[in-house]
Structure 1
Amino acid sequence: MSQLNTLFRKRINIPEDEPITFDSLESILEKTAHSIPFENLCILANKTKPITQENLFNKILVNHEGGLCYELNSILYLFLIENGFDAVLARGVVYNGAIQDYLPIGRTHVTILVTHNDQTYVIDTGFGANLPLKPVPLSGETVISSNGEFRIKKAANRHGDYVLELKLKHKDTDWRIGYCFDSTKPITDVSELDEVQTIIVEHEESPFNKNRLVTRLTADGNDTLTDTSFTQWADGNVTKEEIDFERYKNLLKQHFEM
């Protein structure tokens, strides 16, 4: 067993000798979402490195950091490949409900496509607090998890050929668009995602190069930490605390082990 396989299992707390099957994915996605935060701290600290298997391994599994979609889904993709899955990465564009349009920075969301028994599914652990926590089939079937309802519809626009829609538990009353992705241009070499990282780091309209953001799902909701606030969702109830930098550092260690 490779070090990546061993340390990923250790990071999300699954036995080293446990076989990984398609039926295991729900548990793996939940454990990953609860263990590895979605965060942009390296970007704000000007400490980004090229996207390679070695750098992802060191950042997430050795140094116990989190990352953004192109890092979190890449490390999960590598783990799935090592465990015999038919998987590729795919790029997409996130939809901004506030402006009722897709983000102008282009295909900077990265997700995973897994094919099992002639059916293809989206596997995503890099979409902040919007995680399906289950494989979502491209067939259009609605999937219900502890985080809400998720489905995929065919699309025909310049951003891709499928759209992930979601209705988060306790947060959404209607379906909304999460992102559009392109299944026709699969990625198998994580180094191709350097372009995504460059856009995220440098683009003036990138949502991740201005302020610190750390979020992670919990057993009953999610925690989100920024430079100025700490927000907790628990069983549909939300609390928000305004904070200073000293409080930020303490909360980062207490709630995210960083």
Structure 2
Amino acid sequence: MNSAEVDAYLRRLGAARPVRPTLDVLRELHLCHLRTVPFENLSIHLGEEIALDEKRLLDKVVGARRGGFCYELNGLFGALLDALGFGVTLLAARVHGARGRLGIPYDHLALRVRTADAGDWLADVGFGAHSHFPLAWQDRREQDDPAGSFRIAEAGPDAAGAGGGAGETGDLELLKDGERQYRLETRPRLLADFVTGAWWHSTSPESPFTRKLVCTRVTEDGGRITLSGRTLKVTAADGAREEREYGEGEDEAVLAVYRERFGIELESVPRVAGAA
């Protein structure tokens, strides 16, 4: 990522170019990303290719002002952090599903980030409703965040038998409010390692991303706004919630939500393949 691309990405986030790769900078960029770049799977339902290539991700997220899912968002955010002088390691994770069953290998992409002043942190701007700020990598206690209470825990010796996972020594569990979110490997990966996972999630009928539409981001007050199909949900930081369902004759209103609330310009409302 060259200097001009870094500046364009920072403008997309509404952030200034930092002087040093410090924890304060990482926290600011992390929150700015969650507020300005939606977690969304629209490409899958618009017939757009999911390409894990830095240039094409820049064209999508920065040039077209779109969002993406974990491989795209964390992949590109990691490239930005690397260009700004942070130490960045891409990590693979498997998401906990129903009845504790683990997802496929390379199910999720997260980041281990080293700052110049405060050690290593788990950064993740591509997991939907997740922590607003990076989590201290070495801290095994509860870590309070505006989105909840998070904890990074050792996976334990039974990891290989839990929910079909092939746990390895050194695997970690990420928990939110006591519930397991994903199992994280600590071995460094390359973005190209996640191509098969991205293909599976964008094509398999078993993937949650092929079965539903989602577009979500953190709001300026610390709440969350989500358009799930044709249902708009706005949750304030204090938990107050509003919900509206748009009918089949309200396509223009749905397009206005994408445009005005997420900054996404679409020519037509995306629909789940096979849906009526």
Tell me the TM-score normalized by structure 2: 0.83
Q: Is the 8 A contact 2:93 2:182 kept in 1?
A: yes
Residue 114 of structure 1: how far off its partner (Å):
1.7
Match of 1:242 among 242, 245, 248: 245
Shift of 1:134: 2.4
More strand by share: 1
Number of residue pairs aligned between Structure 1 and Structure 2 = 247
Checking the alignment, whether the CA contact within 8 Å between 2:31 and 2:132 is kept in structure 1 is no
| Aligned ranges 1:97-116 → 2 under 5 Å | 99-116=98-115
Partner of 2:173: 163
Tell me what 1:154 maps to. 154
RMSD: 1.9
SS of structure 1 residue aligned to 2:210: coil
With 205-214 and 107-116 compared, the bigger mean Cα shift is at 107-116
Q: Decide whether the 8 Å contact of 1:122 with 1:138 is kept in 2.
A: no
Partner of 2:258: 252
Q: Aligned pair 1:233/2:235, yes or no?
A: yes
The answer for unaligned runs of 5 or more in structure 2 is: 160-165, 265-276
Alignment of 1:125-144 (within 5 A): 125-144=125-144
Q: Distance in 1 between matches of 2:167 and 2:70?
A: 17
Q: Which moved more, 1:8-17 or 1:215-224?
A: 8-17
CA displacement 1:95-148 (0-9 Å, x = unmatched): 12xx22134434311100123579532111111022342233243133222222
In structure 1, give the amino acid aligned to 2:55. Answer: E
Out of 159, 182, 186, the position equivalent to 2:185 is 182
Q: 1:194 to 1:123 in 2, by over 3 A?
A: same
List alignment gaps of at least 5 residues for structure 1.
168-174
Distance in 2 (CA, whole Å) between partners of 1:10 and 1:159 is: 40
In structure 2, the CA distance between the partners of 1:191 and 1:15, relative to structure 1 (3 Å rule), is: same
Distance (whole Å) between structure 1 residues aligned to residue 90 and residue 107 of structure 2: 12
Distance verdict in 2 for CA 1:204–1:159, change over 3 Å: farther
Confirm or deny: 8 A CA contact 2:131 2:145 kept in the other structure: no
Cα distance in 1, alignment partners of residues 86 and 11 from structure 2: 20
- Change beyond 3 A, Cα 1:18–1:248: farther
Change (3 A) 1:118 1:254: closer
**Bigger Cα Rg:** 2
What amino acid is the match of 2:186?
Answer: S
Per-residue CA distance 1:160-197 (angstroms, 9 max, x = gap):
51011112xxxxxxx1111111112x11x322221121
For 1:148 and 1:121, the matched residues in 2 are separated by 17
Aligned partners of 2:4 and 2:192: how far apart in 1? 20
Give the direction of change, closer, same or farther, for the CA distance of 1:35–1:140 in structure 2 (3 Å limit): same
Q: Which residue matches 2:273? A: none
Stretch of structure 1 that moved more, 236-245 or 15-24: 15-24
Determine the C-alpha separation between the residues in 1 that align with 2:103 and 2:180: 15
Hey, which bits of structure 1, 4+ residues long, moved more than 4 A?
A: 116-119
**Distance in 2 separating the partners of 1:103 and 1:126:** 18
CA distance in 1 between counterparts of 2:40 and 2:46 reads 12
Match of 1:220 among 208, 219, 222: 222
CA contact under 8 A between 1:220 and 1:233: conserved in structure 2?
Answer: no
How has the CA–CA distance of structure 1 residues 125 and 220 changed in structure 2, closer, same or farther, with 3 Å as cutoff? same
Deviation at 1:17, TM superposition (A): 5.5
User: Contact between 1:227 and 1:243, CA under 8 Å: does it hold in 2?
Assistant: no
Distance 1:121 1:14 in 2: 20
Q: Judge which range, 72-81 or 16-25, deviates more.
A: 16-25
CA distance in 2, matches of 1:21, 1:49: 32
Give the distance between the partners of 1:180 and 1:119, measured in 2 at CA.
22
Counterpart residue number, 2:38: 37
| Paired position in structure 2 for 1:172 | none
